Amino acid sequence: MIKKEISKIIQGRNSFYPREFNGKVIGEDVIIQLLKNANFAPSHKMTQPWFFKIFCGDSKKILIDEIIRLNPNFSKEKIEKLKVNYDKSSHIICICVKLNKDILPEWEEIAATAMAVQNLWISCVDSKIGGYWSTPKYCSKMKDFLCLNSEEKCLGFFYLGCIDHKNPRNIKRKNINEKIEWHR
Ligand SMILES: Cc1cc2nc3c(=O)[nH]c(=O)nc-3n(C[C@H](O)[C@H](O)[C@H](O)COP(=O)(O)O)c2cc1C
């Protein structure tokens, strides 16, 4: 039997968006705990390909200024919305992967990194912390700013913030029976 608690935690994970954040700042000790949990993800050959660049406080302004600079086509409204999202967010974690193309296919390293993100995400369940994984197109333009080399990639941003009340999002899941083919 699997423990009831673990199913409750996994099924209790949700995306929470910056519009729902209250603007409070998460303690750095908590952020470190989230990242330690992320670090327990599995990886083929134990390459542990994930790494994170964390923006908080004044550095959020530096990040958003760069995003605006890289996207001259952004409308005034879009920039304004982005600014509000950044203000409300406590920390913005840039999710990065180091590929090891000579020993492993790219997808395995990305899969391992996604598992690290999932660890971080489910660690927020039952807390006043919410977050979501954002994967805007401009991620690929950020290599220089993030000082990534040719083997490294940015896989998006994890926005984290404090939430007063977490209302469950009732996103319908497809029935698992539609995705199962038994071979008994
Ligand atoms: C790899 C990945 C990329 C995502 N990128 C975005 C995104 O760019 N914008 C967005 O609004 N949500 C994004 N999401 C969040 C999904 O929309 C969200 O997980 C989905 O709607 C299910 O909702 P839930 O997380 O509350 O269960 C992403 C999720 C994953 C796993």
Residue 126 counted as domain residue? yes
E-assigned strand segments in the chain: 50-56, 91-98, 129-134, 152-162
Closest CA to 157 of 105, 183, 126, 120: 120
Q: Is the CB of 46 under 6 A from ligand 1?
A: no
Query: Residue 143: how many CB atoms within 10 A of its CB?
Result: 15
Q: Is the CB of 69 under 6 A from ligand 1?
A: no
Pocket test for ligand 1, best of 135, 139, 157 (most atoms within 8 A of CB): 135
Cβ contacts of 42 within 8 Å, gap of 6 or more? 112, 115
Residue 167 counted as domain residue? no
What are the tens digits of pLDDT across the range 96-141? Answer: 999 999 999 999 999 999 999 999 999 999 999 999 999 999 999 9
CA of residue 120 to ligand 1 center, whole Å: 14
Residue 172 counted as domain residue? no
What are the tens digits of pLDDT across the range 2-31? Answer: 999 999 999 999 999 999 999 999 999 999
**Cβ-contact 133, 156 below 8 angstroms:** yes
Cβ contacts of 67 within 8 Å, gap of 6 or more? 82, 138, 142
Residue 169 pLDDT greater than 90, yes or no: no
Q: Return mean pLDDT, the chain.
A: 97
Q: Is the CB of 170 under 6 A from ligand 1?
A: no
Range of the domain at 71: 15-162
Helix (H) or strand (E) holding 170: none
Q: What is the pLDDT of residue 147?
A: 98
Residue 57 counted as domain residue? yes
Per-residue tokens: 34: 């989230």
Specify the pTM. Answer: 0.97
pLDDT band at 149 (very low <50, low <70, confident <90, very high): very high
Distance from C-alpha of 152 to C-alpha of 114, rounded to nearest angstrom: 15
Residue 26 counted as domain residue? yes
CATH number for 152: 3.40.109.10
Q: Is the CB of 15 under 6 A from ligand 1?
A: yes
Per the structure, how many domains does the chain have? 1
Residue 169 counted as domain residue? no
pLDDT band at 168 (very low <50, low <70, confident <90, very high): confident
Phi first, then psi, for residue 56 (nearest 5°) are: -150, 170
Q: What is the pLDDT of residue 167?
A: 85
Q: Is the CB of 14 under 6 A from ligand 1?
A: yes
Residue 76 counted as domain residue? yes
Angle at 132 between CA 126 and CA 53, to 5 degrees: 105
Query: Residue 157: how many CB atoms within 10 A of its CB?
Result: 23
